[in-house]
Chain A
Amino acid sequence: MKHLPNPMRSFAKPQRGKLIAIVSASSAIAVVLAGCSSSKKSGAAASTSAAASTSAATGSTPAAPSVAASSAATGGGASLPASIAVTAIQDLTGAVGAVGIATQNGMNLAVKEINASGMLGSTQLSINYKDTATTSAQAVSLMSAAAASDSVAIFGPVSSQESVAMAPIAQTSKVPTIFTQSGADGVITAGNFNFRVTAPQAFFQPKLISYLSAHNIKSVDLLYDTDVPTTKGLAEQTLPPLFKAANITLKNSYGIQTTTTDISAYVSKIAGENPDAVGISDTNPGVSPAIIALRNAGYKGLIFGGSSFGVASLKAAGAQAKGVVWTTDFDPQSTFPQTVKFVADYKAAYSGAAPNNYAAEGFDAAYLLAYGLKDTTGALSRTTLQAGLTTATMAGFSGALGQLTFQGNDLREAGYVETYDGAGNVSPAT
């Protein structure tokens, strides 16, 4: 009987091939994990060095703060418990995970210093972290759980979309919630239990406009992310009237989605219009690709941006990002004593990594809580802490961002205009 040809005879090989594939793939996983350990990222190391515990599982029940029935520890006018554990609902993974981790690093450093300095007497402060994965639904779920728990205060995420959804829950549950970033409307206006330790970018855009005017910028184009309320608000509401007042013509605004991967068509159009300057209002992953695309398209004019600009977001663009400018609330080269100390302590704590504005904001947010605890009178509760935080914001304090002053529960500052030298260094723009 004639045997039928086996079209797959080339596959009748020994199991060697499968073994090689398994070994290769296992080696690949080992390489990934080796990338973890040799990475300059120090978030993991930092989080274990501070008095904080990270809960990566979502929806898990946060540890109840240990409230001693009586305590000799006092902070200000209140009798504080021996330990206070608060909840931080933070974007540790997802689209803005890098921002959340930087904020976490700043918070952990602050908590370590607060505990070591005895600022709250013998009371030890700790933070339980919950990851939103940069999804609003998860953030709201975690917020509801935290509001129902014993946590006397909550730190909110950096994402405006999530914060706008969480702020009303904080208000109705009467739990003091401290946000960073979260520049969209609806966060602070949700009520007096919401605090924010990042000045809305609208407050330091005038400095940027002055810089543009001083450098004879007469026309601009804007490229912005329409999915992020902060960037959308800046591009559509804040900047246009400022440009108009400064006699700068806004030639065109191009809104792109966060998920837009290739912006060649937009860049070609912008390059063809050749404005004096191009503004990029986008989150971190999109900043360098946009700059590189503009330069590759032949655009030679000034490029400016907002708080998403920084060493981390510009490093991929390298020399092509030389000369870009942006407004920020944090100047790492400031000679303000608290800023200088923060930068030095951060570098010492995180293997020499330089802090960015998000870390500085997280640091000051944790200190705001500490000052609020110090200013709490009577038995510690959410309501008395809210009053203590209000007192703290009225007084202001020195922090990593500089001398912090608040309008109500919201930070105010004029900001800085920084520039990048294309080689990893940031300095004030002149």
Chain B
Amino acid sequence: MLQAIADSLSLGSVYVLFALGLSLSWSVLNLLNLAYGAQFMLGAYFAYLVGTHWHHSLLLVLPVVVVIVAATSVLADNLVFRHLRRQAGTPVESELSMLVASIGLAAVAVTLVQHATAGESEFVPQTVFKVRTLHFGGLFRMTNMQLIMLIVTVVLTVVLAVVVKWSRFGRAMRGVAVDPATCELLGVNSNRLFSTTIAISGAMAGLAGVLLAIHLSTVDANMGDPLLTKAFAIIIIGGVGSIAGAAVGGYLLAFAETFTVVYGPANYKDAIAFIIILIVLLVRPTGLFARKRWERS
């Protein structure tokens, strides 16, 4: 049982760590960024590149990769999303056009990496971080990376939730999402705010990419897509608009999957997990933590 709980926390951390940045951009900025999986993959790929060619530890590789991925996100916003927002006539048009553009951006990134790796999977060398198994009194075990991911996930979730809900910056973000015109009149530069939020979202994708590349022991051009699908489910379960909800949703899904594997018919893991999601949505259509009306910010 304890090992199952440990595995659930590990799997949940994988899901939530990936989903946090997407939740930020979708919940707050109305940007359903389908390039997020590719950003995550870029984080993993740059961790492999930097780790392989520079032979530095995680303490140096992580911030470098996070900055690179954040910068690519800002570049995407400046070159693509900003123009689409300006040209769109209505918010719905803006959302749809950015969604479609994000699909294109993802395809470009995946193709570039696929070409660079000749389709082969790579890995982050152990010089960056050596994964070790930790035994907790013989009751259960986790690797050091699983523990790091759990701690980082919890801390990031709390920090993000607090910033979005209570900080001046968070209020500005939510204000721009609801009514950018009024915010502009109040002196808020919505484009700069959007870019900053995108950069934070990209940075989180990069962070997740580095940590998960080490945990999953693989860097593959297509590694972002499966997690992207799960992330949408997690955000919907938790309630679009709630960072904490996304975290709870992620761990709930992880527990459902893990306990099905351990105690139930393992081959039906995904089916049972999504039945649980359906039940949650039937009971709470807007998600566990959302308000009655579906409001993203």
**Chain A contact residues, CB within 8 Å of chain B:** 4, 6-9, 11-12, 18, 20-22, 24-29, 31-33, 35-36, 39, 41, 43-44, 92-101, 226, 254-255, 257-262, 264-266, 268-269, 272, 284-286, 288-289, 292-293, 296-298, 312-313, 315-318
Contacts and interface: CB of A to CB of B under 8 A. Distances in A.
B94 to A, nearest CB: 20
A126 B294 CA distance: 59
Contact of A261 (B113, B118, B226): B226
A258 B223 CA distance: 11
Contacts of B3: 268, 272
Given A41-B117, A265-B7, A7 B188 contact: yes
A279 B119 CA distance: 25
Given A8-B192, A264-B7, A296-B131, A316 B122 contact: yes
Chain B binding surface SS class? helix
A95 B121 CA distance: 10
Given A98-B120, A259-B225, A261-B227, A8 B189 contact: yes
A298 B10 CA distance: 17
B186 interface: yes
B262 A8 contact: no
B116 A24 contact: no
Contacts of B151: none
Interface of B: 3-4, 7-8, 10-11, 14, 42, 45-46, 49, 67-72, 74-75, 78, 111-123, 126, 131, 133, 141, 143, 146, 168-169, 171-172, 186-189, 192-193, 195-196, 199, 212, 215-218, 220-223, 225-227, 229, 257-258, 261-262, 266-267, 270
SS class, residues of chain A in contact with chain B: helix
A100 B49 CA distance: 23
Contact of A260 (B113, B133, B226): B226
Contact of A21 (B78, B133, B172, B221): B78
A25 B123 contact: no
B270 A257 contact: yes
A41, A259, A285, A292, most chain B CB atoms within 10 A: A285
Contacts of B222: 94-95
Contacts of B261: 254, 265-266, 269
Nearest to A283: B121
Given A22-B71, A97-B221, 16 more contacts: A6-B188, A7-B172, A8-B188, A11-B189, A26-B75, A28-B46, A35-B49, A93-B111, A93-B221, A98-B120, A259-B229, A262-B11, A268-B262, A272-B3, A285-B220, A288-B218
A125 to B, nearest CB: 24
Given A4-B186, A260-B226, A265-B4, A25 B121 contact: no
Contacts of B143: 296
A166 to B, nearest CB: 20
A316 B48 CA distance: 11
10 contacts: A8-B192, A21-B75, A101-B119, A260-B226, A264-B7, A265-B266, A268-B7, A313-B121, A316-B123, A318-B126
A25 B74 contact: yes
Given A264-B11, A297-B141, A39 B116 contact: yes
A284 B68 contact: no
A348 to B, nearest CB: 18
A97 B114 contact: yes
B121 A316 contact: yes
Contacts of B192: 8, 11
